[in-house]
Structure 1
Amino acid sequence: MDAVVTVPGSKSLTNRYLVVAALAARDSRLRDPLRSRDTELMARAVGSLGVGVEDAEADWILRPGALRGGSEVDCGLAGTVMRFLPPVAALADGDVRFDGDPRARERPMADLLGALRSLGVEVEDEGRGTLPFTVRGRGGLRGGTVVLDASRSSQFVSALLLVGSRCSQGLTVRHEGGPLPSRPHVQMTVEVLRDVGAVVDDSVEGTWHVEPGELNGLDVQVEPDLSNAAPFLAAAAVTQGRVLVPGWPQSTTQAGDLLRDVLDQMGADVSLDRDGLLVQGTGELYGIDLDLREAGELTPVIAALAALSDSPSQLRGIGHLRGHETDRLAALATELNRLGGDVTETEDGLLVRPRPLHGAVFETYADHRMATAGALLGLRVPGVLVADVATTRKTLPDFPGMWRRMLTAEGDVPAAARA
């Protein structure tokens, strides 16, 4: 295999840009944003709150206005929608109801809703601490200091920071609890806020302060989604092939950039230059002992690689994945063992002992990253059938087509670029 795979824009950045553009004082243009289920849900949600969202070929133009209530937000299974928008809804002039897919009603929300209540926001959830709930917007937030435990999701911190500049007194957010997962995502939020002119002080570990003030509009090119590149680059390691992902940033706040070091440690040749990130398989796959606390979204693909490696792997720091689209630790252990693997859940991760694998149905539990992990395993294990591969539309609009083009070297970059 020798392929070039152009990965669509980052979901994490696209949805953060949509939120800050909705809160800005002037119009914004997002160039080549990701258009997938999660981002379309976010765009429709901010539109329902009174923000103009216009298509301009591949771009989105946002025209902010007074935030209004009286709407219902469909969160689907998107953590960014269900967590980033309740604080925004508190700035609206009426009630906003939130609901989503059945599994979304199981995802943790109580700590964020408690933080909003401590800021004076009325939230009606009948004591569930989960979807569905209603935020009773009163047209503004005073702000101040809020203390919460974000050990179950760093999105709780990001959600509050995103509205900090719209609080009349600014906002100080302090995390008190277990280790904060996915810290690069909080740093991404901070950098996005600074891009639109917010003053953010993150000099004290576990504490963030956002000054009140006006946000500027954006005109930004959205980076490719580095986490969504993971199965394609891992495919090179699995097949002893070559995969180039163009546009890989030289520096980034995306947690998916950790993939470069991981693939290198697991035996692939990895190089980054101005053409992009190139991964070449060497015929070797080594086990790894890895703390994935800061990039938990890479776990399914890395677990699949570990199951195909020549020695055991320990994946640590990812207990919070039990509250994602599915309980990812249980799902990975169940499905890899169904193929003949030997995977054990630990308190905060997985122990993967390689075994000869065989074909079977690989269930995906409505989780896009389970589906991409199953596709990766199918490159080496005959007879793997990935159930409900369409769930990948959550973050990749055409994963099956991209996978097929990669395997047939029908990339969208001329062959000369791969020389």
Structure 2
Amino acid sequence: MPDAAADPRSAPSEHWPAPRSRGPVTATVSLPGSKSLTNRALVLAALADGPSVVRRALRSRDTTLMARSLSAMGAHVDTAAEDWQVTPGALRGPAHVDCGLAGTVMRFVPPVAALAEGEVSFDGDPHMRNRPVGEVLTALRGLGVEVDDAGRGALPFTVRGHGSVRGGTVVLDASASSQFVSALLLAGARYDRGVDVRHDGKPVPSQPHIDMTTAMLRRHGVEVDDSSPNRWSVAPGPVRAVDHLIEPDLSNAAPFLALAATTGGTVTVRDWPASTTQAGDALREILSLMGCEVAMVDVPDATSGRGLRVTGPDRLQGIDHDLHDVGELAPAVTALCALAEGPSHLRGIAHIRHHETDRIAALATELGALGADVVEHPDGLSLRPAPLHGGLFHTYADHRMAHAAVIVGAGVDGVLVEDVATTGKTFPDFAGFWSRLLGPAADERG
């Protein structure tokens, strides 16, 4: 059972009927921009040596909170248009940062706040007080930053900046989240000695997200050395102002491509990048293993002229797969496995117990309540084919859990989704978009 603080059963909420697919789904869709890329681009733009533009930025709760937090400390982030204008400014307090449910805000902004002159306080939604951030705060103290968290290693806390950070070498355990590493690297070039981050612990999860961070730093002219295992160093120096064009959020593609996989239909996602550091790109391999046809194809109305096309099989196959590097895909993939005609075992994802909720426990609980034969393991889940039925699927204020719910609902009558609005974290009006996609409209949608 997921932790009580994240359990929605304690409060009433609206229950949304997940639309049921009545046949093969054929659609071409455009997706909002990547949250991970948008928030990294905003942080680097706020630390840069001149103004820049984040083009096609994702406009969602998480990215809006990031923009507001940077603006509160002295940067100017103009989010009025589709392309967001960022002008760096002198960082200062007093300021308050509302983290909401955004792990990137809670973890990426404190190292930036350490460069401010004055106090910056942090808090967020109630559940965020359960998510780990202590390793980042301890690392900042080791780099000479004053942090007051009353010994909690969690929200709320205050960073007391003095306009500069000594920097240097720090050892931490990033086995709970790759964001611990990215947080320090993003601000590290502005520290007097740069930063040399060394990991000591179990393997770091979600390696593609660290690769994303280092690639973006290099685009900004920052010298990064990641040649040694479990060590990343950033040399001190300026962060060059660079405009970014944000890719579609490939992890948000999971429920849409799942429609092709479960209905035997064909779904195409416009502007899928030919090369990317996004973890969601692993969907190509995962869906192929489950029996789908996956191909990059020409899409004339796409900005890039290309996209990813997935055609579902007659019989969806189960998989035995390690999701350690792409744990954010686990809820959607687990939902697919619950609908597959063979057994599945998903492993390497112990770290997702510390995401918006304990995702392993939550998936076992909610899928089990709908009839799934699911077994929870310390680092994953096993599923065997079983007839599913309708019922209430709780989301635990977790957008990825809502994705799992709608995937199951597309294949099973009578699934009700609790708090589908939580998808606004990374996809505004997801419910409306999803309903239109499965409505009795023409084949070409989105």
Q: Is the 8 A contact 1:15 1:39 kept in 2?
A: yes
Superposed, 1:198-347 pairs within 5 Å as: 198-274=222-298, 275-347=306-378
1:7 equivalenced with 2:66 (yes/no) = no
1:408 to partner: Cα distance: 3.5
Which secondary structure does the structure 2 equivalent of 1:405 belong to?
Answer: helix
Q: Distance in 2 between matches of 1:100 and 1:352?
A: 35
Q: Which range moves more in the overlay, 269-278 or 259-268?
A: 269-278
User: In the alignment, does 2:132 pair up with 1:101?
Assistant: no
Q: Hey, what does 2:217 align to over in structure 1?
A: 193
In structure 1, distance between residues paired with 2:270 and 2:103 = 28
Alpha-carbon distance in 1 for matches of 2:189, 2:434 = 42
Deviation track 1:115-157 (CA, whole Å, cap 9, x = no partner) reads 1111111111111111000011111111110110000000000
Asked whether the 8 Å contact 1:4–1:409 carries over to 2, the reply is no
Residues 244-294 of structure 1: CA deviation (Å, up to 9, x unaligned): 100000000001100000001001111113420001112211110111011
Q: Per-residue displacement from partner, 1:169-213 (whole Å, max 9, x unpaired)?
A: 111111111110000000100001011110101111111111111
* Cα deviation digits, residues 52-101 of structure 1 (max 9, x gap): 11135211000001101101100001000000000000000011000001
Match of 2:100 among 76, 81, 85: 76
After TM superposition, give the deviation of residue 410 of structure 1 in Å.
Answer: 6.0
Counterpart check, 1:125 vs 2:153: no
- Distance in 2 (CA, whole Å) between partners of 1:193 and 1:410 is 44
User: 1:149 touches 1:176 (CA, 8 Å); kept in 2?
Assistant: yes
Counterpart among 418, 421, 431 of residue 390 in structure 1: 421
Take 1:170 and 1:120, find their aligned partners in 2: how far apart are those partners? Answer: 12
Secondary structure of 1:229's partner?
helix
Query: Structure 2: how far apart are the matches of 1:58 and 1:126?
Result: 40
1:142 paired with 2:179, answer: no
SS at match of 2:285: helix
What residue ranges of structure 2 are gaps of 5+ in the alignment? 1-24, 299-305
1:334-372: CA deviations, max 9, x gaps? 000000111111111111122100000011110001111
Partner of 2:302: none
The TM-score normalised by the length of structure 2 is: 0.91
Amino acid in the other structure paired with 2:365: T
**Alpha-carbon RMSD:** 1.4
* Whole-angstrom CA distance in 1 between matches of 2:206 and 2:28: 29
After alignment, is 124-133 or 274-283 more displaced? 274-283
Deviations, residues 287-334 of structure 1 (Å, cap 9, x unaligned) = 101110110000001000100111111111100111110110010000
* TM-score under structure 1 length normalisation: 0.97
Structure 2 SS opposite 1:364: coil
SS at match of 1:180: coil
Looking at structure 2, the residues matched to 56 and 366 of structure 1 have their Cα atoms a distance apart, in angstroms, of 27
Q: Relative contact order, CA 8 A, sep 6+: which one is greater?
A: 2
Q: Percent of aligned pairs with the same residue? A: 60
Tell me which residue corresponds to 1:30: 54
CA–CA separation in structure 2 for the residues paired with 1:56 and 1:357: 45
Q: 5+ unaligned residues in a row in structure 1: which ranges?
A: none
SS in 2 for 1:81: helix
Other-structure match for 2:3 = none
Paired residues in the alignment total 415
SS at match of 2:153: coil
User: Is the counterpart of residue 356 in structure 1 residue 356 in structure 2?
Assistant: no
How many Å separate the matches in 1 of 2:314 and 2:440? 20
Specify the SS of the correspondent of 1:225: coil
1:140, 1:277 → 2: CA distance?
Answer: 45
What residue is the counterpart of 1:85 in the other structure?
109
| Structure 1 equivalent of residue 404 of structure 2 | 373
Query: 8 Å contact 1:224–1:247 — kept in the other structure?
Result: yes
Letter of the structure 2 residue corresponding to residue 179 of structure 1: P
**Cα distance in 2 between the residues matched to 1:179 and 1:2:** 40
